[in-house]
Structure 1
Amino acid sequence: MADFEGIPFVSTINTTKDGYDPGSRYTTTTLTGLVVAGVLLLSSHFLFRSYQTDKSNYKIPKGPKGLPIIGSFLFLSHYPELTLDKWAKRFGSLYSVWLGKQLVIVISSPDVAKDLMVSNGAICSSRKDMYIKSQTIFAGRGITATPYNDTWRRHRRIANAWLHQKAVDKFTSVFDREATDMVNCLLEASQSGAALVNPQSFAGRCSLNNMLSIVFGVRTASVQDPLVSTALRLGREFMNCTGPVSNLIDFLPLLEYFPSEVRSRGQKLHHDLVETYGGMIERINQCMSLGKEVPDCLASTLLRIREEEELDDLDMAMITSAFMIGGVETTASIMQWFQALIPSYPEIQQRAQEELDSVVGRDRLPDIKDEQHLLYCRAVIKEVERCYNPFWLGTPHATSEDLVYKGQLIPKDTVLVLNTWTIHHDEVRFPEPDKFNPSRYLNDTLTSAQSSNLADANQHDHWMFGAGRRICPAICVAEREIWLAISRMLWSFHMETAPGHAVDLKQYDGLSGRSPVPFKIRLRPRDGNVAKILKGALEKVA
C-alpha cells in the first residue's frame, strides 16, 4: 500500500442517518408538486400515449392500464416484484406499463431477453437519461446510468481495463486476503461461537475492501473504520434514490421544477460522492505531486491519463463512485443473503461441508483452484443468486430507435426492464421455484460469466448480472469475490439459527438493491484447527 502519511483525507461526511427513512418513497413536497402539476401534465400525458400508439400500424404490447397521470406507479410501491410477476402471468412475457409519462416494457422470459437485449442490442442497449440518477447524482458521467455517447464509451473503455479476466487474476490475492480476514473477524466477533453476531457489516466491509484496493489501493482495518459506514451508507442511499420505482420525478418531468425530498437527497448524495471519492483521488494526486509512491490502482491511472482521455475532476470522481457503488452492493448482498439463508438449511450446509472436506481437507482453506472440483458448493452459490438476486429488476435499458418485435411496436426512448424475479421463478425452468434447492445446479459446470454467453438463453444459470451489451462489466470480479468468501465461511463455521432470533427471509431492505433485514446467527468453528489455519493464512499475506 502507498504511504499516505501527512496527506489529509478530504471528507466531512456524517456517517449517521440524516433523519430520513431510507424506505420512504413519497414525501409531502413531492405529492404537493404532483397535485400542482397535475392539470398541466394531464393533457400532455394522454397526447403522449396517443402519439406512441397511433404512429404506425403496430401497437405497443398490452399491459395494465394504470391511473391517470401517474400510471401504474402506486401499484409498484410495495413488493413490486410480486406485482410484476402477477402481470407477467396475465399479459405474457412482454408487456407494457406506464409510469407517469414514461412507457416501460417489461421482459419476463429468457427468449425475449435475448431477442431484445442481445440480438437487437444495437437498439436496446442505451439508458434513459433519468433526472435523479443520471443528471443529479452522476451529473451525466455514470458508466451504468449514461446513454450511449462519447463520454460513456470513453468511461466504459477505462472501466473494462480494470475488470477483464487478467485484471481479476491480478487482484485474486486481494480477494483471497479479504475473504480470510472477514472469516477471521467473524470468528473473533462471535467469540468462537459463544456470542451471536450480525455478519452483515463484515460482508459489507469485505466487498468494500476489495473495491477500495482496486480503485484506490487502500483498505479499511476493521468494521469500526468510519469509511466503512460512510461507503456502505452512500451505496444504500444510491440504491434507494435510484430504484426503478423509487421516485416519480424520473417519470413526470415537470416535477423536476418543484422542491422535493428525493431531489434534495440526490443533490446531497452527489455532493457526498464527490467529497468522499473525489477527496480520495485528490489525496493520491497530492502524493504523486510530492513524488511519493502511489499504488497501481484505478485512481492513479485516471490521474496519469486525464489529459489524454480529457477527464476533468468530476469525470474521475463519478467513475470511481460508479465502481464503489456497483462493485460493493451486489457482492455484499449475496454474501449477506447466504449468511441469512444457510442456517435454516442444515442438511444443505452439511452436504457442502462434506464436499469441502473431501476435496480440500481440514488443513488449509479452499482457494480459487478448488472451485472446479466443488460442484455442490458452486451450486449453493448459484441457488442463492437465483432465489435472492439483489436486483429484482435489472438496470433499465432504453431503445435508441423504434423497433417492431413480433408484430408489436417498441417506440424509441422506451425503457426496457428485465423482470428477473419472474424469470428466476419459472416453474418449467426451475421446478418448485420457491424452494431453496442447490441440486438443480449440480450439472452446471460453467461460471456465470460463461453461462451468460450460452446460445440457448433458457440454459443461463440466472440473470443477476443483466444481459447484452450492458451486462455488468464486473461479473468476473464478483464471481471470484463471492466464491472465496462463501466457500471459506462454509469451511470454517457451523452456521446456526438461535432460539428467539428467527431470520426473516421474506422482508428485505432497499428499493433497488435488496439486502436482508438485520439478523443474528451463531457461528461455531467446525473444529479447533480453524483459528490456527486462519491466522497462518493471514500471516502469509500480511
Structure 2
Amino acid sequence: MLVLYFLLACFALYYIFKSNTPRGLKKLPSPPGHFFQIGREPHKKFTEWARSLGDIYGVHMGQQYWIILTGDKVVSDLLQKRGGKYSTRITSYYTYDLLTRGKSYFGCPYNERYKMLTPIMHGALGQRNIKENSNLLDDEFRILMQNLCKASTNAKDGFYPKYCFQLTSLNIINLLCLNKRTESTEDPYYKEFETLMGEHSEIAKITNRLSEFFPIMKLIPNYSLRNKIIENRTKIEAFFEKLVKEVMDSKEKKPCIIRNLLCKKDEGILDDLDVIYLVYVIFAAGTDTISSSLTWISAALANNPEVQYKAHQELDRVIGHSRLPEVSDELNIPYTRAIIKESLRYCAPIYLGLPHGIEEDDEYNGYHIPANSVVILNQYGIHMDEKRYENPKEFKPERFLGVTESSAALANGNYENRDHFGFGAGRRLCTGIHMAEMELLLGVSRLLWCFKIENASPLDKDGKPIPIDLDKIRFGITVWPEEYCVRFVKRHDNVEKVLSI
C-alpha cells in the first residue's frame, strides 16, 4: 500500500510541475494542495482556496486539471459569454461508457449528438409542456399536503419528511412520462426505484473513480467494482425498459413523454437505448433535486420560525383560509417567493454541479486555460460570498424581496442581477428549471399555508430544540441534509377540509 501511495504522489507531482503554458501568458494561481487534501467536503475546501487565490484558480487532480470558478463575473465571462467553448464534458470510460454505455445526456460532450438531444429534452421539460400540465402538479402537491397531515398524525414526535417529498416528485415524473402514479413509499415500485438510484449514486462516488485521476491504478483492476457497475446498469436498463414497454402496450395511447420519445425513435432520430437513458435522466433529475430542495427548505424553516411567521401573515392576508395557494398567486406573495430564492442560495441541492469542460486552449485576463481542463462551477462558494450576499450564513429571504423575475429569466441575463446559481449557468443550465420553479412555488407556498414546521430535535439545557445542523450533509451530485426530525402542525381548522375538496 505504501508503494502505491508513493507512486500516486510521484504521478501527481509530475503533472503539477509539467508546464505547457504559452509564452506571454501566466499560469492560473494554484493552492498548496492537491487531490488528497480536498477531503470529504470539497465545496468548503474549494471555497477556502478561492478566498486566498481569487475567483478563478487551477488545482491538479492527478492527471486532470480542474479550474474552479467561485465568482459571478468569471462564471458569466466563461460559461455564458463563451458558452460554445465551455459547454462540453471531459468524459471518461468510467463515467460515460461503462455507467451508461455512452448514452448519458448530462455526461454527453458538447457535440452533434448533444445538440440533437437538447431540443427533445426541452420539449419534454420546457415551459410550454409544464404549463399544459399545471393541473397535474396542482393535484400532486395537494396530495403531498394530505400525506404530510397523515404522517403528522401517525408521528406526533416528528419525522424526516424526505420520503414524502420524494414520493411526490416521483409521481409527477411518473405522470408526465407514462400516465401512472404510485400511492405509497411502501409500494415495491417506489422501493425498487429508490434502491436503484441509491446504488447508482454510491457507485458514482469520486472515491470509486480514482483511475480517472491516476491512470496507473488501471494496472490494478477492480473487478468487484466493475461487476457492481455493470449489475447496476443492467438493473436500471431493465427497470426503464419495462416502463417504456408499458407505454408501448397501453391501449389508451394517451400522450406522454415516453410516447413522444418513441415517435422520435420511429423517425430514426433515437434508438432503443437512447429512449431508455433519456427516460432515466428525466426520472433521476426530476425526482432528486426537487425532493432534496424541499427537504432542505423544511429544515431551514424549522430553524427560523420568524421567517415562517412573516410568510404566514402574507398568506393569510392574500389567500385566506378557504383555498390553497395557486400558481396564479405568485406575484402577490413576494415574501414566499423570496423564501424559495433564499433557500436555493442558502441550502441548494447542488454545491458543485456537473463539471463543464474545455477542449481547446483559451486565455482569460492574461491566464492560460489549458485544453481538456475540467471546469467546476462552485455554486456553494458564490452563495457564501460576503461581497455578493451580506451575511451569507444567515437565512434572510428579505434580500430577495425586490426581485420579481423568475430564476429562469435571471439566469440568462446580467450576472449581477442573478438571484442565485442553483440551476447552473451557460448552455448547460438545468433543462427542468421551469418545472422546478413551479414545483417549488406550489410546494413551499402550500407547506406554509397548511403548517407551522416545528423543530422536533432533542432539547438543549435551556429547554429549546437543538437547531438542525445544516452543515451535516450527505454529499453526492445532489446534496442532502443529514436526517432530522420536524413536526408539521396544522395552522387552522380549515386545512383538512380545503385539502379534501
Mark yes or no: TM-score above 0.5: yes
**Distance change in 2, residues 1:263/1:86 (3 Å):** farther
Equivalence for 1:58? 25
Check whether the contact 1:141–1:151 (CA below 8 A) recurs between aligned residues: no
- The CA distance in 2 between the partners of 1:255 and 1:56, in whole Å, is 34
Report the AA paired with residue 465 of structure 1. Answer: F
**Distance change in 2, residues 1:187/1:311 (3 Å):** same
- 1:318 aligned residue (252, 263, 277): 277
Are 1:294 and 2:253 matched, yes or no?
Answer: yes
- Deviates further, 321-330 or 494-503: 494-503
- 1:104 aligned residue (66, 69, 87): 66
SS at match of 1:190: helix
- Deviates further, 203-212 or 190-199: 190-199
Structure 1 runs of 4+ off > 6 angstroms? 41-44
SS at match of 2:453: strand
Are 1:529 and 2:487 matched, yes or no?
Answer: no
- 1:185 aligned residue (137, 140, 147): 147
Encode CA deviations 1:445-501: one digit per residue, 9 max, x unaligned: 11110111222x122110011000111111001111111011111000111112527
Equivalence for 1:20? none
- The CA distance in 2 between the partners of 1:279 and 1:255, in whole Å, is 37
Equivalence for 2:244? 281
- The CA distance in 1 between the partners of 2:215 and 2:259, in whole Å, is 38
**Distance change in 2, residues 1:426/1:242 (3 Å):** same
- The CA distance in 2 between the partners of 1:198 and 1:468, in whole Å, is 35
Are 1:471 and 2:438 matched, yes or no?
Answer: no
- Deviates further, 314-323 or 236-245: 236-245
Check whether the contact 2:21–2:368 (CA below 8 A) recurs between aligned residues: no
Report the AA paired with residue 270 of structure 1. Answer: R
SS at match of 2:211: coil
Are 1:259 and 2:218 matched, yes or no?
Answer: no
Encode CA deviations 1:53-92: one digit per residue, 9 max, x unaligned: 34544233111243xxxxx222223221111111001111
Encode CA deviations 1:163-219: one digit per residue, 9 max, x unaligned: 221111012111111111111011011118845222110011111111122222221
Check whether the contact 1:134–1:145 (CA below 8 A) recurs between aligned residues: yes
- Deviates further, 227-236 or 315-324: 227-236
- The CA distance in 1 between the partners of 2:40 and 2:224, in whole Å, is 19
Are 1:342 and 2:301 matched, yes or no?
Answer: yes
- The CA distance in 2 between the partners of 1:411 and 1:360, in whole Å, is 55
Equivalence for 2:470? 505
The alignment's TM-score, normalised by the length of structure 2, stands at 0.93
Equivalence for 1:410? 369
- The CA distance in 2 between the partners of 1:234 and 1:77, in whole Å, is 27
**Mapping of residues 40-439 of structure 1, within 5 Å:** 48=15, 53-66=20-33, 72-191=34-153, 194-242=156-204, 247-256=209-218, 258-259=221-222, 262-287=225-250, 292-439=251-398
Are 1:487 and 2:452 matched, yes or no?
Answer: no
**Distance change in 2, residues 1:388/1:262 (3 Å):** farther
Equivalence for 1:520? 485
Q: Where does structure 2 lack aligned partners over 5 or more consecutive residues?
A: 459-464
SS at match of 2:241: helix
Report the AA paired with residue 486 of structure 1. Answer: V
| TM superposition shift of 1:51 | 5.5
Check whether the contact 1:353–1:490 (CA below 8 A) recurs between aligned residues: yes
Encode CA deviations 1:201-247: one digit per residue, 9 max, x unaligned: 00111111111222222211122212223323333444444456763
Report the AA paired with residue 263 of structure 2. Answer: R
- The CA distance in 2 between the partners of 1:278 and 1:52, in whole Å, is 48
In percent, how many aligned pairs have the same letter?
A: 29
**Distance change in 2, residues 1:262/1:329 (3 Å):** farther
Check whether the contact 1:392–1:421 (CA below 8 A) recurs between aligned residues: yes
Report the AA paired with residue 509 of structure 1. Answer: R
Count residues in correspondence.
Answer: 493
The alignment's TM-score, normalised by the length of structure 1, stands at 0.86
- The CA distance in 1 between the partners of 2:441 and 2:207, in whole Å, is 31
Check whether the contact 1:127–1:396 (CA below 8 A) recurs between aligned residues: yes
Report the AA paired with residue 265 of structure 2. Answer: R
Report the AA paired with residue 425 of structure 2. Answer: A
- Deviates further, 376-385 or 516-525: 516-525
- The CA distance in 2 between the partners of 1:481 and 1:233, in whole Å, is 24
Check whether the contact 2:11–2:62 (CA below 8 A) recurs between aligned residues: no
Report the AA paired with residue 238 of structure 2. Answer: E
| TM superposition shift of 1:138 | 1.9
- The CA distance in 2 between the partners of 1:166 and 1:304, in whole Å, is 19
